[in-house]
Structure 1
Amino acid sequence: MDEQPVTSLAADPLTVAALDTERHVASAGWDQPARLFALVRTAALLAREPHLRDQLGPADRAARTFTAIEQEGLPATSSLETLLGRIAWPDEVDGCAFAIERIVVPPDAERDLPERPESAVEALASHPDRRDVRLLVAVLRDGSSICLLRQREHDSDDAVATGKDIAPGLVAALLATFED
């Protein structure tokens, strides 16, 4: 994983929006369903919805910032591909962010798994070296992307790994939601 310190990326508006969105998701704790957010340029949002100005601070209203708008009511599906394959964004949406929790295990933990999917999931979930992580991937129409990874065991110290190549498949799937 190509980790970069958050401070070196903090000037990038997409990274700022991703970090703010991840903090928002983290504030609700763990064991959450997947969450999807539209990213819109704050200036354009305020031009369309001026009544929102009072809800945003001066830094939020800066010219290059993005505002994350949660898309509630995601259909419950076990297939991430099916869920993302149904999404298309209107032109007013500049990007999106997707947060999902996963279990990570060492590669050798995947050897000799039971054949039944339910049993395999149970075996992985009870593995002594399992790690719970929250992944947030944010993309823009222009192809820009950032990935954030928070481990449950480091939740209290607010340590979030950042990088462009943490979840390339999810980046590609989210970018595909902007294709015509």
Structure 2
Amino acid sequence: MTTSPDLSDAGLSLRLAVSSLEKDVAQLGWDRSPSLFAFVYTKSIFPQLAGEMDPIEADQLRAALAENPLHLTAVLQDHLPPADLMDTLGHLVFGEDVAGVAVSMERFLVSPQADADAPADPREREKFLLAHPSRQDVRIVAGATRDGNTWCASRARAEDSDEMVAQGENIVPELLEALKAMLVSDEELAQLASEPDSAGVSDAD
């Protein structure tokens, strides 16, 4: 992955974390439900991580931290329902102990003509598009941090290799906005937790 010479440590950390997470998710294969991850600063959990690694891996992670103290580690939070993904994310929040969040999700793309030709009825439309010859399955890993940085990595099933992963800041704008909205201050978190029918309050495990 190429990076801009003036990219901040925070921006670089997110890009590296999303890229690494995408590779990890890719090893699990296709046809999986969306997953939610919390990004935490690696330095805050380094003793725990180092204890689970062999000495060489621990030294490599220590070197990465020395180069960039804002290095991030992804912690799996939950597997999410595909149909209600955006609604589910809209009811979850994280406090300041979480530096950022990411979602891994699969979706399919079709040609503009196929989209125009699809029936209006939602069920018939989905059936038509799923069976269309132009359909392409893709997996997207999108991440955002509370400092405003965003990054996405997208892999197509038809070109399933690390070398063919597309990356960019704004591949899925609506999803990125939902992720940023999940990152609240501790004050907001306490207020939400005290309200009836409040959004889900989450902590990174």
Q: Same fold (TM over 0.5)?
A: yes
Q: How does 1:99-114 map to 2 (within 5 A)?
A: 99-114=104-119
Gaps of 5+ in 1: 1-5
Structure 1 residue identity aligned to 2:76: E
Give yes or no for the alignment of 1:51 onto 2:48.
yes
Give yes or no for the alignment of 1:138 onto 2:143.
yes
TM-score by length of structure 1 reads: 0.87
Alpha carbons 2:38, 2:100 under 8 Å: kept: yes
Structure 2 residue identity aligned to 1:65: H
Q: How does 1:146-157 map to 2 (within 5 A)?
A: 146-156=151-161
TM-score by length of structure 2 reads: 0.77
SS of equivalent to 2:93: coil
Gaps of 5+ in 2: 189-205
Matched residues, percent identical?
A: 35
Q: How does 1:24-173 map to 2 (within 5 A)?
A: 24-46=24-46, 50-56=47-53, 57=57, 58-61=59-62, 62=65, 63-74=69-80, 76=81, 78-156=83-161, 158-173=163-178
Which structure has the larger Rg? 2
| Distance in 2 between residues matched to 1:152 and 1:77, nearest whole Å | 18
| Distance in 1 between residues matched to 2:61 and 2:156, nearest whole Å | 27
Structure 1 residue 113, shift from structure 2 partner = 1.8
| Distance in 1 between residues matched to 2:162 and 2:99, nearest whole Å | 31
Q: Which has the higher helix share?
A: 2
SS of equivalent to 2:61: coil
